[in-house]
Structure 1
């Protein structure tokens, strides 16, 4: 991609925002080098990486990436035999620790059945260097200090050091507490100069303490003297410190050699952590701008679903649907200044660069982006004073360069094409340039003020007009993009709103050509039609949503009803079996008593009579119905046809086949519901009877064709009751759980008669007047048992 194009589209600002989300200098370094790619497979891979990281970030929230350091220089120096400092070794250990944490983190996420093949691939490349991490952390603390336990020798030396320091301080403390100390010392404290303990002695008492002068104050009135009595002790301390330093160096050299042993594994860890840090930085940035993963293609198709410019605050930017490369390859956007034409242009260009760089785009799910070889842009006033180029000349230099390189896999963005020169010549030149780029099969979005280009989209196939909406009432743009509708001049309307005399406006209109007036009227009509279509579409969508909701609720109620029915039936059978078992138990007791009586009292009761009585008792006991799943027959399979009566196995209900929906699916009507059912879930019952033998089938047919409501308005009282009686029978045959009877409000006589009839009907469970949304007191709702 051209550096100038990325600068004009402000891709660098996107990178600056992205870098705010990296966790290490490694991720920052990779982010600063980020460039869009024109390799389709590479872009798809980058998008999948970002999407995986975004999914994990959404599920887990916190990613253990803190504590990564750029240890590449440390590894190289260790490999050539140098010595790493304690801080550098601590950075190595910290980075190894993060790699181990990330490996375990990714494995844990993968075990939760989250599909993250790319992250798992990176995780498998990480070599766990727990031994190296432990050896460094046992010797060096988090602040980079070598610990006493790093070696037995160091522990012994530091013990000696502390012991000697205590003796020195004890001697100096006794000097400070002496009677003359307050007079001879500037301050009653022990200090250190040149790693040796000294006392701050006044100039005139220097000879009293003897010893070595190490320093003096800026005024010269205080000398820092090492008293003669502790010189030897300080010498011993120095000797121990030298040995300590030598031991520390030995330990650091040993640990550095340990790092050198794992140089290749550490280099791999650095590479993997760099990739992981950058992946999750892209995920965090996607969340910040509310972006989504676009589907990538290499056919030049762009569909942005509610796209926003990523550099404009979310609460201020207007989202737009933008499409190109599907039905048309060129869009010409017209409209007033500051209306959002250039923002739309930059949104498409910037989203393209972001997508090709592996970043998610600020649009809703379902967006689609193309991978272009090049994105060309001529946007803004790039007038060069040094080259003495006018605005027009500056634009033409860019356009000439674009025309030399553009091909079928290019995206071209022209802002105010042909501006800066005579309007008639500029419009002609703009049309010619658009034709030339169109012939190269490139995807083009151009903005212009020229009215001649409004007709351009109507005269050429593959070209669409577009405009940015302008609210004449508020005299401000809405920034809403209208594809298919050219922008119209609002000069007359704006002037009228601002108070310009009507006669002046009408005089101005007379100077506008008839063709221009016709175009403006056509655009006005298109805008009115579009607004009406949007209103009607919203109403249609609302009706569809309500219908789908009602259908879903009815289907759920029906399933719940049959479930409850089956449960109640099973419960009744269980209770019946329990009663019979109790009766059988009592009968057994009676028989035992009879046998006992026969044996004890020689009663005339035959054994076979007792057995017969017992069998009769057992035969009287009902058995519980066991539902069996239908077994697929190996015999010839029935070929279903529309109109067949079937049983839906999953619901246990009968239905009627309406039409075939797929190779193995049918639309089935069960009562008042229609639903799609797989053929394997159907059992054939029978076919419709011939026309001449449908006197019985006519009754059954009502099961499927009875309305959910009966309208009695305008009927005489006697005829109305006859219709109610017949309708109730039909509704019961259709297995409806609930129906509505419309009788109107009127005097209330018809309503009272209908309700009196329904109250005495044996199959009616409950009646009630309709609610506000159901028709109120003009409707009676009937629920069946």
Structure 2
């Protein structure tokens, strides 16, 4: 028995599955030599390379190594002075091309998203050798024939050969026309590389020429007419010259290959490993396998692990948890219930991981490194177990015990079976105790109730079972950790119709300890099932809650976005109106100044009043929707009152009453004529009513250079910032501070998103150390 038990775990079949996914004999050779390692650094390196290959394959879809062949025998012959043929030369060219394609493919993967350092190091070490590849492909075509262009001499020889062939064909065609009655068929053929004509045997003498062959019946002779003998001889000489020139060309190409033999061997090693890694990546993709984590302590934590040889459509995944201080897992349950498959699944996962292979499990599965994996697994399901079978199992167990150490993984199938149940159970317990005392990790399957009790009472052992559905009388193949398997003989018999009297009589033959054990198992199974149902319901409710939360959040974000868009649209419309009013006012003032300058004596009072009236009408009357009309529209407004104009989201002062419920309002440097229902009165000290009527400029003493937003919602803060920015601009500030605090960052993000689009903001930044850091945004105004 070797350090690794492969045949009972069917690891060779896994190796064959991976080997079928390699694209070259080199990759298949790497796979055939694949063996587990006990060195953590080595195994981690293998797994990292495999994971990078999985990313590479996922990004590129497929990586072609077409043309890659094992050229090592050719390289050896070239170095020994032999001449490579056309096929071997093209094999070298194809291998060079495969290396260059692999390097190019990996370079196309975005290095910023996927570094893939191990694979990049490998591919960058591949020598391009483009000159050698081009020389080979320029000299030999895809049909493995040396090209005419390979040398001037070869081109000249082949032109002469074509000319000679044409002369031979012309000569023979003339013979066919002139001597038709002597011919068996009017065709031209070849015998022994000589052009001949099939002639009836009775015309041998009359036809004249050299006989090269005859038909089986002797009625037809294949004769070379005397007139083409010199031409055929000339053609043969040219063919010999062609052969010598081709050999000379191949010798030159072989010398070029020999000069690069070391680089080519290095490329072969790298490409063989790359093909090996890609085969593992294809295996992972095909079987939905993952790279496991390597535990630093004794741990087996497999999530939904599957056996690679089972049909994934019907295979039931298992969860296995085994970690310190637990050393032993005892699996009980009915025959054909999945106990042996569970053992093989764990053993295979450990073997595959230590070979650098992905395992068939869910992400975040974890497994330890073992110094050896030993298994005594018999697939016999017969009830006729003879002494020889027991002896065979004991021979394996003795070998395992002699070779194992504290870091080994031991797998026992039906431990102690094949002999007297009492003696077998006692022997199984003693073997388990010995393995555990020596520090190894062990998994075993059994039917013995004594082993259930042993696992229940031993501090470093744990019970497990494969589930059995009594209602359908079928195993579910699920592995239940922490629950011993219940004997289902009575339940099955009851379902099949055995009388209750016989079942009750059988139960009386059980000892009190056995009855207590069965009751404990039944209770544990029921509690486990109830807990699983509760967990399923909780997970379902959680998924529903998460779905509802996501939907609400999406709707809220859409609402916020629409609200911002509507506000921005209204703001732009207001700004357009104001800009138009400013332009009209500028035109009126300019016209007044020019008129006054040119003809001051002609400027009449009524004309000036008309100009002023025109200036007062530059802002069109705005009809607000009902919801925007001020709730305080019935309040009495007077000259000097501070008012708020909702349509512009600005404050101003009434400077003049121009009509019935119509006022002229000073907003910054602008005057607008607005109706009373467009205004909202603000409480203002009376001394503020004595403002000059010509212009209104807010003093910076009325506006603080900083605004505290802490504790506010994003929408509330944005409204306050919008007004504050306008006031700050009117006050003449070039820089202001918005205090939003640090918190979760949501308020800061909302504030800065708003600042990014505001017309009055030149730039913004987070505060420096002395300015409040990330709790303050410093705004530069235009």
How would you bin the TM-score normalised by the shorter chain?
A: 0.7 to 0.9
Offset, 1:311 = 0.5
CA contact (8 A) 1:22 1:28 kept: yes
The 4+ residue runs of structure 1 with deviation greater than 6 A are: 604-607, 609-615, 621-624, 630-633, 648-651, 664-670
Rounded to whole Å, the distance in 2 between the matches of 1:94 and 1:668 is 58
Rounded to whole Å, the distance in 2 between the matches of 1:431 and 1:139 is 75
In the alignment, does 2:666 pair up with 1:619?
Answer: no
Alignment of structure 1 residues 50-449 onto 2, 5 Å: 50-111=50-111, 113-179=113-179, 181-182=180-181, 184-326=182-324, 328-380=326-378, 390-449=388-447
Deviations 1:184-203 (A, max 9, x none): 33332222122111222333
Tell me which residue corresponds to 2:26. 26
Alignment of structure 1 residues 648-659 onto 2, 5 Å: 652=717
Offset, 1:294 = 0.8
CA shift in 2, pair 1:262/1:146, >3 Å: same
Deviations 1:434-459 (A, max 9, x none): 11111122111100010111112221
Tell me which residue corresponds to 2:467. 469
Tell me which residue corresponds to 2:520. 522
CA shift in 2, pair 1:110/1:603, >3 Å: closer
Deviations 1:330-388 (A, max 9, x none): 110001110000000000001111111111001111111222110010110699xxxx9
Tell me which residue corresponds to 1:701. none
CA contact (8 A) 1:64 1:98 kept: yes
CA shift in 2, pair 1:135/1:373, >3 Å: same
Rounded to whole Å, the distance in 1 between the matches of 2:117 and 2:338 is 41
Tell me which residue corresponds to 2:542. 544
Offset, 1:318 = 0.8
Offset, 1:204 = 2.7
Offset, 1:71 = 0.5
CA shift in 2, pair 1:98/1:652, >3 Å: farther
CA contact (8 A) 2:387 2:419 kept: no
Offset, 1:205 = 2.5
CA shift in 2, pair 1:604/1:190, >3 Å: closer
In the alignment, does 2:704 pair up with 1:646?
Answer: no
Tell me which residue corresponds to 2:600. 599
CA contact (8 A) 2:319 2:479 kept: yes
CA contact (8 A) 2:99 2:126 kept: yes
Greater displacement, 371-380 / 297-306:
297-306
1:505 equivalent among 503, 507, 523: 503
Tell me which residue corresponds to 1:8. 8
Offset, 1:102 = 1.3
Rounded to whole Å, the distance in 1 between the matches of 2:13 and 2:82 is 41
CA contact (8 A) 2:66 2:94 kept: no
Offset, 1:561 = 4.4
CA contact (8 A) 2:211 2:223 kept: yes
Rounded to whole Å, the distance in 2 between the matches of 1:150 and 1:682 is 76
Unaligned runs of at least 5 residues, structure 1: 625-629, 639-643, 655-663, 671-678, 685-785
Alignment of structure 1 residues 678-689 onto 2, 5 Å: none
DSSP-derived class of the 1:65 partner: coil
Deviations 1:647-701 (A, max 9, x none): 47799489xxxxxxxxx9679999xxxxxxxx977679xxxxxxxxxxxxxxxxx
Greater displacement, 445-454 / 25-34:
25-34
Offset, 1:567 = 4.3
Rounded to whole Å, the distance in 1 between the matches of 2:112 and 2:177 is 71
CA contact (8 A) 1:40 1:298 kept: no
Rounded to whole Å, the distance in 1 between the matches of 2:569 and 2:362 is 51
CA contact (8 A) 1:647 1:682 kept: no
Rounded to whole Å, the distance in 2 between the matches of 1:492 and 1:125 is 68
CA contact (8 A) 2:4 2:373 kept: no
CA shift in 2, pair 1:569/1:228, >3 Å: closer
DSSP-derived class of the 1:522 partner: helix
DSSP-derived class of the 2:178 partner: coil
Rounded to whole Å, the distance in 2 between the matches of 1:632 and 1:378 is 79
Q: TM-score, normalised by structure 1?
A: 0.77
Q: TM-score, normalised by structure 2?
A: 0.77
Rounded to whole Å, the distance in 1 between the matches of 2:572 and 2:278 is 60
**CA RMSD in angstroms, aligned pairs only:** 3.4
Rounded to whole Å, the distance in 2 between the matches of 1:681 and 1:41 is 43
Offset, 1:580 = 3.0
CA contact (8 A) 2:126 2:266 kept: yes
DSSP-derived class of the 1:43 partner: helix
CA contact (8 A) 1:103 1:123 kept: yes
Rounded to whole Å, the distance in 2 between the matches of 1:558 and 1:651 is 15
In the alignment, does 2:44 pair up with 1:44?
Answer: yes
Rounded to whole Å, the distance in 2 between the matches of 1:153 and 1:632 is 91
Rounded to whole Å, the distance in 2 between the matches of 1:287 and 1:615 is 73
CA shift in 2, pair 1:590/1:616, >3 Å: farther
CA shift in 2, pair 1:110/1:569, >3 Å: closer
How many residues were matched structurally?
A: 646
Offset, 1:170 = 1.8
Tell me which residue corresponds to 1:780. none
CA contact (8 A) 1:110 1:120 kept: no
